[in-house]
Structure 1
Amino acid sequence: MPGSSDKSAAPKEKWVRFKLYASPALDEALSNYLTEMGAQGVFEEFLEPGVSDLPEPDTQDERVLNAYFPSDADDAKRAARLQAYIDCLAELFPDQDKPTFNTEVIVDPQWGEVWKRFFKPLRISRNIIVKPSWERYSATGRETVIEIDPGMAFGTGQHPSTSMCLEAMEEILLKDRSFQKWRVLDVGTGTGILGISAAKLGASTVLCVDIDPQAVEIAHKNVAVNHVGDRVVIVNSDVARIKGSFELIVANLTAETLIKIKSHLVKMMEKGGYLVISGIIEKNRQDVEKAFTRDDLIRHRVMDDKEWVCYVYRKPSKA
């Protein structure tokens, strides 16, 4: 009847899920691009063969990168944009399998909240907890809580390359007494999670650098949310333009980029200081080891997680 109210007839909210199958080496590039396209959430699932809906984090049989968008008239354009970007990636990285994807429309008025079930407070190391803004967590003892929302793609702490960096930083900043004050440089800061963690773990000053203006904007917001703006400075810059020395340098990048900027990183290391490098897939580890052993650095620690590797180097205290 005209003028009557029928709640059941109200339009339901629609979401589009993009499911991508790609090499781990391309995860960060794809995640960042999906976020730039407007994805409300980006996360990785490990699935059993033939299982499409249940996440199995402890298996490596099938990896899926999921991205969620509110469905609208631009759905087809988004798919076309993503395909064009994948075509570019295939040209840039011919040694990697070309990513593929499919889409699924989800009609569910609650899905905007339901997808958040994949994100709970996550213990990265003994003391570091990463949580999204909608989850409550009361820290106990020496626990350090970092608040990062997964809609900001990479750098939420869930990816092995990020979690290994955080574990290494925790060990260094909480256990090493070599320096009274720790100056930290976070190269390729992304969401700012590593720089924020360094500040919360006791660093005196933290400089976060990134060449992506959008990453710098996101990092600024996260620094404010985590109340560490008094110790963390974020700049939109290439690492080659950074001056000074640091007791701890962290760089979660690709193997190719790490090798390219190696001389800048080593030059800025304080005597006795540490360099944590991650974002390295297994097949590139020998190239990284070869490049970084040319300098007078001590290999302090090596960590492995799934297909990813993280190195901790130290500069000798005496020249």
Structure 2
Amino acid sequence: MKISTPPATGTVPEQRQSDVPSKPPSSLAARAFAVQQAFTRLPGDVHPLRAIAGAAGLDDATTHRILQTGVSDGVFEQVGRGRYRLGTGTARAGVQAMAHSPGAASTHGILERLHLATGGLALLYVLAPFGGAKRLCTDYVIGDLDPAEVGMSAEDVVSVSRSLRTGASGRVILAYLPRTIQDLVLAEEVPPTAGPGVIRDNNALAGTLNEIRQLGFGVGRQECMPGWDSVAAPVLWHDSIMGAVLLLRRSAEMPADLRPLIYHTLKAAESISELTTSPLSAAI
């Protein structure tokens, strides 16, 4: 993620990757990975053989052999006759990979620098896929501010701030998730206590996701809480979303020119993203 001064305005055309491989994978290993990736392209979690084969770009017989081999190793699970889903072996591999993300000691210093550079509240949200895609705040720097001044109740924290539908950090994380997961989130109800600026129309919300991917950041105007605006940037592990850095400031204190705030938020997110790719991050 390269930092540059973002444009003040702009209309960004929609850009989507194909849901089907352009050509069938040639090697046996590539075919196995294609079958596994097919589950990320299909809506829902349980799929028939033919749908998996189509998404992988393979014939039914080859896909069946790969699935059956994966079932014995726990990579896939067979659910009923001819229907499959990803297995616990895939989940274990994902947990093992994510466990090596940077620790709080290293990320907290980055949030402190963001707070000092902008005077805003600096928060780190991570993607939590268990039980449905949502975000969780794992660290924050708020200076001398009393948390009660933010104006969120415990119920709001559980509902509004975890939803990927609300706030700049939620939409930033959502923008980098597969379309199948985006559709699940868009099907959720907007939390009833969300702020007055929350984007309720699904078409408008989906349009902001493409813009976020193009610009590399998101801006929120009183989406989670009345009187608070935000800037957020993605924390990435290569091209996979891990979370988002969020900068919060009172709406009345937000400058007309957001570029300095955007720059510092991008810089913080890039610094944490670099830690995820460093082999030393697990030891920090």
Say yes or no: TM over 0.5: no
Q: Give the TM-score normalised by the residue count of structure 2.
A: 0.34
Kindly indicate which of the two structures has a greater share of residues assigned to helix: 2
Query: Which of structures 1 and 2 has the larger relative contact order (alpha carbons within 8 angstroms, sep 6+)?
Result: 2
Q: Give the TM-score normalised by the residue count of structure 1.
A: 0.31
